[in-house]
Structure 1
Amino acid sequence: MILDTTDTSQESSRVQKPLKAYLPHHGALDGEAILDRFLEWVSEQKITPYPAQEEALLELMTGRHVILSTPTGSGKSLVAQGLHFKAMCEGKRSFYTAPIKALVSEKFFDLCEQFGPENVGMLTGDASLNWGASIICCTAEVLANMAIAQGEEADAPYVVMDEFHYYGDRDRGVAWQIPLIQLPRTHFLLMSATLGDTSEIERKIESRTGQRVCRIHSEERPVPLDFLYAKTPILESVEALLQGKKAPIYIVHFTQRAASEQAQGLTSAKITNREQRKAIGEAIGGFRFDTPYGPEIKRVLRHGIGLHHAGLLPKYRLLVERLAADGLLRVICGTDTLGMGVNIPIRTVLFTQLCKFNGEKVSLLSIRDFKQISGRAGRKGFDEEGSVVAQAPEHVIANQRIDEKMKKGSSRKKIVRKKPPERGFVNWTKETFDKLIWSPPEKLESRFRISHGLIISFLKSADGTDSEAPGYHGLGDLITQSHEPAANLRTHRREAARFFRSLREAGLVEVESATEGGQRVRVSRELQRDFSLHQTLSLYLVDAASALDREAPDYALDILAITEGILQNPMPILIQQQRKARGELIAQLKADRVPYEERMEKVEKVTWPKPSEDFLHATFDLFSAKHPWVGTDAIRPKGIARDIYESSSTFDDWVKRMEITRVEGVLLRYLGQVHNTLEQSVPEALKTDEVEDMVGFFRAMIGRVDSSLLEAWENLVQPGANADPKAPSSAVPREYDLVADPKALRARIRGELQQLVGALASKRFEDASHLLNPESQKNWPPHRFEEALAPYFEEYEAIIRDTRSRQAHFCVIDEVSPRQFRVRQVIVDHRGDNFWAIEGNVDLQSDGNPADPLLRLRSISE
C-alpha cells in the first residue's frame, strides 16, 4: 500500500529532515527548482506521490490556481505543504484556512514540525500566536475579515482553503467566497473530498484574478472502502463488527440524545477486556470530570466507549479525541460532527439512519454529507480497507424478525407488525444507500448574503483613512463581483441599502464631510472598538435597549431579556424548563384538588419562562414595521441566563436543578453567546455598572466550567482585521489590558468573587480552590476552606447568595500600587450581621489579562 502524506505516527517516524532544511539559504528559486527540492524531500520520506498530487504540485509551481478534489486520506495535505514550501522559497507569506478551530490547531502543529515554530503562526479566536510568521493557520472567517479590511493590499500571496465544500454552507459559505473576491492577487489552492461541479466557481476566479484555474479530480483512495446494508439490530451489528476486527467503530447518530442513549446501552456489551480498561484508566489519569455529566462520561469511557457531540463540554470532546487517537476507544457514539474533519481515527463508520433534520424538515442525507462522513472510514497506514455500514430502519429489522419467526412457526401469539415512526422520519432502503455511495456530490451553490455585520466590517475598514474606499464603495464592489446569478445582484444591492439606512437611523453609522470634499461614511465614534452585529437581530437589540430607562431598578435585567430574545432557542433546555414548570403546577393543582380536565387545561397553557415578553413583542412589532427586512425572523423570549443570574446559581447547581446533565455543553455554549452579545453588541453608552457586573458574572461562570470558550472570547471576533502584516513575529493582533478598562476589571473581579461565594455557600470546597489564581490554589486546598468556615457555620445557617450578596457596597476594590489591587467581599448572612468577609489581592503586573482566575486569597474570617 502506498503512503502519501505525513499525517500518521508511522509516517512521522520516517521523517529524515524537516522541509525547513530544504529551503534556500540565499536568493529565490524558480518554480522548477522549487518543485525539484520539494520532491527530493518527498522521496526522502519514502513517499510515492499519486498522479493527482504530482499534477497539482506542477500546476501550483507554474502559478495557476488549483481546485483539488480527491478522497479523504489521499494526500491533499502533501500538496498544501508544497504550496507553503513554494511561498517560503520565494520569501512570501501563505495562509492555511479550515472551517473549525480543531483542524486549524492540528495543522498548525503539523506545519511547525516541518517548517519550524518560528515560521508558523495561528489565529483562530482560541489562540493568536506568532502573527508575523511566514505561514499563518486560521479559520475561514479570520481570512475573510482580513480580506475585507485590507483588500488587494493584504499580504496573502498564497492561500490554502481546506474543506472548501463549506463554500455551499447556508450560514457560513459567504466566508469562503469573500477571499476569492477580495484577494485578486492571491493564488488559491481549494481542497475537499466532496466538491461536485465547480465550473461556475472556476469561471469566476479566472475572471477576477486573470489566472487559469486547474481542477484536479480523482476517486483513488489509499484505503478502499467496503459497504454493507445491515438488517440486524444495532447491538448485533456492533458485535459482528468487533468480532470481525473492524474496530474502532464510529456510530453516527443525528441527535445528541440518540448518541448518549446508545453509549449508555452499549455499556452492557463486552466492548473491552480488562487490560484495555486498565490502559484507559491510566490514560485518563487525573482528568477532572467535575461537572454534573462528568461521572457518566467517565463511566462510559472506562468501558472503551466514547461519546462525541456538540452537547458535551469542549474539554470532554477533546478527551475523547485524545483517547481515540491513542487507539484506546473501540466504539464512539457521536453525531455527524465526524464529517467536519474531527480528528478521530476510525476503521468503520456505522450509520444508524440515512435521514436527518436539516434545520427545516427531516430529509434524506445529502450525497455530500454522506460522503464526508463515510470517507473518514479506514486509517491510512493501519488498515487495508475501511468499512461503511448503514442500518436498515428499525421497523424493517423488527418486521423481518417477525417474518422469520412466522416461517419457523416458533410463535403462537398474535403478531403485530411494527410501523415506521409517524414523525421525524423519512424512509430509506438499500437502493437509497447505493445511490449515496455511487452518485457524485451535489453542485456547489453560492451562499452569498448581506448582513449588518458585513456592512459594519466594510465601514470599519475605512476608519482612519481619508477616502470612502474600500469601506463604502467596497461593499458595492463585493456585491458586483460575487458569485451570485446576475438576477440576484439587484436584490442584494437593495438589501444592502435597506440595511445601511437602518444602521444610520440607529445612529451606528455616520455620514460626514471628507477632507477632499464630498462625504464619507464611518462607524459611529461612540461605539466600542469591537462593536459587532453578528446576530441577525442585533440591530433590534440596540433599538430596544435605547428605549429603556437607565434609572429603572430592572434596567440590567431588561437588557439581559432583550439579549436572550435575539439568540437562537436552545430547545433541549427550554423544553426542560417547560416540563419543570408544568410539573410544579400539576403538583400545586393536585394539592388544591382541581379536577383533572381543568388541571390539564391550565397546564397546556404553561410554557418556559419568558421575562419581559410583552415589552419584547411590542418593541419588536414597532421595529419590524420600520424594518421589513427582518422577514420571518421573530423575537424569541426566554429566561435561561436571567434565572441563573437572579438566583445566583452556579453552573452545576442549575444543571442539576433543571436535570439537563446530558446537554450541559449546550447550556455552556448558550451562556457564551449571552456573554459575547452583552459585551460586544450592547453599545458602551448603554452599559451601567450592573450590566458590566452581569458580564463579569457570566465570564467567571464560563471560565470556571471550561476556559476554552473564554479564551476564544478574549481574542475577540475579527482578530485578523487590523493585524499589521509587517509586525514582528512575536506580535499578536491585539492585546487587551484590564487595567486600561477599570469597568471591565471591576466586573471581572466581582464576577469571580460571586462564583467563589456560590461555591462556599454550597460547601463545594474543591471547586472553591480551583476558582483561585494558581499561586493561591496550593495554599488553599479544600480542607483549609472547610476549617476557615467552620466557625461561620456554627453561628449562621448559610451563606446568602442572591441579589443581596451582589450589592455593590459589599465588594470593595482598592488599587494599592500600580497594577496591584486589594479586594474585599462581604459574606452576607441571614441575620444581616455581615461580619465575615473574603479578602485577597489581584496582581496584574506581569499579565494584563490572564486566562487564569485573578484572586489571590489571603483570608476568610470575621
Structure 2
Amino acid sequence: MPDHPLLRRLPATQSCSSDELLSRFLDYVTEKKLTLYPAQEESILELFEDKNVILATPTGSGKSLVATAMHFRSLAMGRKSIYTCPIKALVNEKFLALCRDFGPENVGMATGDATVNRDAPILCCTAEILANYALRDGERAPFREVIMDEFHYYSDPERGVAWQVPLLTMNKARFLLISATLGSTEFFQKEVTRLTGHETTLISGSERPVPLEFSYVETSVDVTLQELVAANKAPIYLVHFTQNDAAQAAQDLMSLNFCSTAEKAEIKEAMQGAKFTSPYAKEVRKYLQHGVGIHHAGLLPKYRVLVEKLAQRGLLKVICGTDTLGVGVNVPIRTVVLTKLSKYSGQKVATLTARDFHQITGRAGRRGFDDIGYVVAQAPEHVVENAKLEAKAGGDPKKLRKMVKKKPPEGFVGWSEDTFKRLQTAKPEPLISRFQVSHGLLLNVLSRSDDGCRAMMKLIRDSHETAAAKKLHRKRAWQLFRALIDRKIVEILPLAQRSGGTKLRLNVTLQDDFSLNHGLSLYLIDALALIDPESPSYAPDVMTLCESILENPDIILRRQLDKIKTEAMNTMKAEGIPFEERIAKLEELEYPKPCRDFIYNTFNDFAAEHPWVGQENIRPKSIAREMFENFRSFADYIHDYDLHRSEGVLLRHLSSVYKVLAQTVPDTAKTEPVQEMEAWLAGLLRGTDSSLLDEWERLRDPNYQPDELEEKPAEAPDITRNKREFTALIRTEIFRFLKPLSTEHYAAAVSTVKSSFTADSLAALMDPYYADHDRIRLDNEARNGRHTYVGPSEDNSSWRICQVLIDPEEMNDWQAEFSVDLAQAREDGKPTLVLKTVQRIE
C-alpha cells in the first residue's frame, strides 16, 4: 500500500484546534527534511488564523508548500479546497503530487479536457473551471479555501476574466493568491478583504533561496553554451521567442558535442518505451540522444512531457525552447540564456516587460541542487559579429578603419547591457483588469437557481472596471441576453412556474456538455439550421462551420496559400502568361475557404442583427475538412505542407475542431455521417498523441492510481478500443487506397497498403472491373458507411473488412477485401490495411 503522509496525519475529528493542526503539518515538514523559510512560516501561520494571504515571493521559495498546508487544514476541517493555475500540464503535475500526499480518493482534477473524481474534497483545475463554479454558484460555491497560482494571469488579455470572477462572487472562501511577479498588491488586499470580510495579509520578499548571478556576453551562442557546459553550469535553458527559432537552434547545436558516450547511453536507455511516431519524431529523437532538448507549443505534447522527464533526471545539457517555460512547468535548470531582450508582443516588437523578464529568469537555479543560478543575456547578433571583427583586427588602426561594421536589421528593437541591468531591478508592471462579458459567462450566471439576472448585474457592478467600462459591459450583457432568448437557448418562465427567485431556464434540449465558449457559437447554431441535412456535402459543411468560428492557425494557412500560389505560378508559366500578369493574379489567391460566400453572407446578416458581435469575425478555412475529404492522415498532412516543426499547432487545431463538434454542435444536427466524421477525428487525435484523448479518458477511471502511472513508461494508445473511432480510421485508409486506384495509378495504390500485389498484378486484377465500369466513385455517397462491412476474425486478433466499390451505374458488384491486425494497430497507433483481393461480388 502506498504511503500518503498527510492523509495519515489527519485528526480523527474535525474539532481539532488550529495549533494541533499546525503541529501535525510541521511534523510532515520535518519528515520531508525541509526547513521553512520565514515567508513560508508566516504564510502558513496566517492561513491557519483563517486569513487571506497574498504570497509574492520569488520562484523557488516554496510557495507550493504553503498551498499544501492550506489543503491540509481544509481537509482536516471537513471542507473543500480548490487549486487553480493557467496551464493544464501544471494542473496535472499538482494533481499527481497531491494524490501522493493525500491519497487519490481525496483529490480530483478538472481541466475542461479531463475530469477525474471531481467531487473530491481537494480539486485541481484550470482557472476557467474555478470561474465556472464562481459564476454558477456564487457564494454557494462548495470551496472554502481557494488557491490561485500564477495570479499575474489576472492581466492576461484573453483569460484574465477567469482570475477576476472568483474575487467577485466567492465571499465565503479564504484566498491564497500566489505569484513571483505580482507588482503592486494594495488593490487586491482591499478587494479580497471587502469580499470575504476577513483580513488579507501580504507576504512578499525579493530574496531568493537560490540567488542569481547575471552576466552579459558578446560571444556567439555556440561559444556561450560550450563555455557554460565546461564550467558545469548545465542544465541550460536557451530561451527564444518563436517556435521556429527554438527548433532551428536545436538543429544548429547538432554540430557541437555536450555529452560523453556514457551520458548518451544513459539517455538512450531512459527513452526506452517512448513512442516516436510522428513525422518530426526522427528530429526530436536525434536531438535528445545528443543531449539537447526542445520544448515549445509547436511540439506534440508527448514530446514535451518526455523532455520534461529527461530534464528532471538531469540527462539533458541544453534545452532549446520558448519563453512559455517561465510559467511553472517542472523543468529544473541551472542556467537561463536569453537569446534576445525584445520580443513581438502580438502588436509590435518591444523590449521585454519586467514581468516577462522575471518570470523567465526566475527559472534559473534548482533548490536543493544549486547554490547559485545563472542568467546570461546575449548581445544582439550584429554586436557579436562586430566584436569578432574587432578581435580579428587585433587593434590595428588601419584594419579598424577599413572594417565594415554589420548593421542591425531593419525594424530591429535593440538592447544593451544597460537594458539588461535595468530589467534586473525593475518591478513588475501593475496588473490590469480584463473583465469581459461572454456567452459562457452569461449562461453560467443565468443558470443559477436564484435570480440570475440580478446576479449578473451585481457581477458587473462589482467588477474591477471603470465606470465607463461597466456601462459598456451592461450593454453587451443585454445584447447577448436578447440573442440567447431569441434562440430559445434561455427561456423566461411564466410567473406561475417561477420558484425560489428563478425567472429563467436553460434550453433542456442541449447536451450536458454544451459549450458556448467561442464568441461565434451562436452564429454556428444559426448557420447549421440553414444547411440541408440531406445534402451530400452536409457533414463536411458542418466541419467547415466548426472551423470557421475558431482562431486561424496562421502557419498552416500560410503553407496552404504558398502551395496554391506555387501551383498557380507553374500553370500560368506553362501557359505563357506574362510575369507581371502572373504576379497580379497571385495576389488575388487565398487559402481554401469552402462555403465562402455562404459563410460571409450569413455572418454579415447575423452581425447586422447582433451588434454585440463587435470586433468578432468569421474565419472560414479548410484544414480538418481538407484532411477528411482527401483521406489524409496526420503524417500525410504534415508532409504535404512541411509542418514538421509545427505538429503541435495542427494537433491543437484538430482538437479544437473536435471539441466544437462534440460540445457545441447540437445532437439534433448530428446525422450519421457527422457522427462518423466526429469519430474519425477522435480516432485521429487518439492515434497521434494519447495525451490529448486516451490519457484523459484513462484518468476518468475511478481505479486510476497516479503513483503507478508515473513509474511506468507511456504505453501506446489503444486505438482499437473504441470500435466506431477505429472503423472510421480504417475507412479513411480504405479511401487512401481507392483514390489512386480510381485513377489507375496502381503503384501509388499499392504503396498505401500491405500486400503481395505489385502495380502490374493489381492492374491485371482491375482490368475486368474497368471493362464494365468507367471509374470508381469517391463522392459522399460512395463514402457512406453502409458500403463497408467489418467483422472480427475467429481468434479476434484481426478484423476482416469488405469495401463495396461504387460505380457510376450503381451496379456496385465489386468489392475490395482487407484485414487489419489489431495488435499491430495498437503498437503503431494507426490501422495498417493488408489487401487480400479486389473481386466481383458473387
Say whether residues 1:834 and 2:817 are aligned partners: no
In structure 2, how many angstroms separate the alpha carbons of the residues matched to 1:272 and 1:830?
A: 61
| Displacement of 1:413 | 10
Which residue does the alignment assign to 2:796?
A: none
Amino acid at match of 2:206: E
Distance, in Å, in 1 between the alignment partners of 2:534 and 2:214 is 67
Aligned equivalents of 2:100, 2:696: Cα separation in 1: 28
Contact 2:460-2:474 within 8 A present in 1 as well: yes
User: What is the deviation of 1:282?
Assistant: 1.1
What whole-Å deviation, never above 9, does each CA across 1:763-802 have from its counterpart, x for those lacking one?
9xxxxxxxxxxxxxxxxxx999647999979735999977
Q: What is the 5 A alignment of 1:233-248?
A: 233-248=220-235
How many residues align? The count is 791
2:408 paired residue number: 420
Q: Are 2:472 and 1:485 equivalent residues in the alignment?
A: no
In the TM superposition, 1:291-690 aligns within 5 A as 291-406=278-393, 407-408=395-396, 415-423=403-411, 425-459=412-446, 461-462=447-448, 465=449, 469-515=450-496, 517=498, 520-690=503-673
After superposition, the Cα gap between the structure-2 partners of 1:196 and 1:545, relative to the gap in structure 1 and judged at 3 Å, is same
Q: Which moved further from structure 2: 412-421 or 501-510?
A: 412-421
Any idea what the Cα deviations from partners look like across 1:793-828, whole Å, max 9, x if unmatched? 97359999775652232135899xxxxxx9955164
User: Over aligned residues, Cα RMSD in angstroms?
Assistant: 3.7
Deviation of residue 759 (structure 1)?
Answer: 7.5
| Cα shift at 1:60 | 0.6
DSSP-derived class of the 2:255 partner:
coil
Please tell me the residue identity of whatever aligns with 2:765: E
Residues 432 and 413 (structure 1), Cα distance of their counterparts in 2 relative to 1, 3 Å cut: closer
Structure 1 residues 44, 652: CA separation in 2 closer, same or farther (over 3 Å shift)?
closer
Residues 312-321 or 508-517, more deviating: 508-517
Retained in 2: the 8 A contact 1:128–1:715?
no
**Alpha-carbon distance, 1:319 to partner:** 0.9
SS at match of 1:611: coil
- Tell me how far apart the structure 2 counterparts of residues 205 and 712 of structure 1 sit (CA, whole Å): 37
The offset of 1:160, in angstroms, is 1.6
TM-score by length of 1: 0.84
**Which residue identity lines up with residue 279 of structure 1 in the other structure?**
E
Aligned to 1:9: none
Given candidates 186, 193, 201, the residue that maps to 1:206 is 193
Contact 2:299/2:646, CA 8 A, preserved across alignment: yes
CA distance in 1, matches of 2:15, 2:828: 45
How far is 1:94 from its partner? Answer: 1.7
Check whether the contact 1:827–1:838 (CA below 8 A) recurs between aligned residues: no
Q: Distance in 2 between matches of 1:409 and 1:331?
A: 40
- 1:437 is displaced (CA, Å) by 1.0
CA distance in 1: counterparts of 2:290 and 2:834, whole angstroms: 43
Aligned counterpart, 1:753: 730
| Aligned partners of 2:53 and 2:202 also within 8 Å | yes
Indicate the residue corresponding to 2:175 in structure 1: 188
Match of 1:285 among 272, 291, 294: 272
The aligned counterpart of 1:809 is 786
Cα shift at 1:761: 7.2
Which residue type is aligned with residue 795 of structure 1? L
Distance 1:413 1:598 in 2: 48
User: For residues 381 and 425 of structure 2, what CA distance do their matches in structure 1 show?
Assistant: 24
Aligned CA distance change for structure 1 residues 617 and 129 (closer, same or farther; 3 Å): closer
> Using the alignment, how far apart are the partners of 1:178 and 1:789 within structure 2?
65
Contact 2:802 2:815 in 1 (8 A): no
Q: Deviations over 1:55-76 (max 9, x none)?
A: 1111111110001111111111
1:612 Cα shift? 2.1
Asked whether the 8 Å contact 1:127–1:711 carries over to 2, the reply is no
Aligned counterparts of 1:487 and 1:851: Cα–Cα separation in 2: 59
Task: Compute the displacement of 1:596 (Å).
Answer: 2.1
Equivalent residues of 1:648, 1:801 under 8 A apart? no
Q: State whether residues 197 and 443 of structure 1, in contact with CA within 8 Å, keep that contact through their aligned partners in structure 2.
A: yes
Post-superposition shift, 1:240?
1.5
Contact kept, 8 Å, 1:368 with 1:442, in 2: the verdict is yes
1:158 aligns with 2:145: yes
Match of 1:777 in 2: none
Q: Is contact 1:130–1:729 with CA below 8 Å preserved after alignment?
A: no
Report the AA paired with residue 600 of structure 2: H
Q: Deviations over 1:385-407 (max 9, x none)?
A: 11111111112222333344453
Residues 779-858 of structure 1: pairs in structure 2 closer than 5 A? 786=755, 795-796=765-766, 803=780, 806-812=783-789, 826=803, 828=805, 834-837=814-817
1:168 aligns with 2:151: no
CA distance in 2, matches of 1:783, 1:664: 22
Q: Please name the residue that 1:776 is paired with.
A: none
CA contact under 8 A between 2:114 and 2:696: conserved in structure 1? no
Are residues 672 and 801 of structure 1, via their aligned partners in 2, closer, same or farther at CA, if it must alter by over 3 Å? Answer: farther
Q: Secondary structure at the match of 1:356?
A: strand
C-alpha change, 1:47 and 1:553, in structure 2 (3 Å) is: closer
Q: 1:328 to 1:800 in 2, by over 3 A?
A: farther
The share of aligned pairs that are identical, in percent, is 44
Of 431-440 and 250-259, more deviation after overlay is shown by: 431-440
Distance 1:151 1:212 in 2: 20
Higher relative contact order (CA 8 A, sep 6+): 1
Residues 480 and 489 in structure 1, CA contact (< 8 A), matched pair in contact too? yes
For 2:605 and 2:3, locate their aligned partners in 1 and report how far apart those are by CA, in whole Å. Answer: 68
Secondary structure in 1 matching 2:627: helix
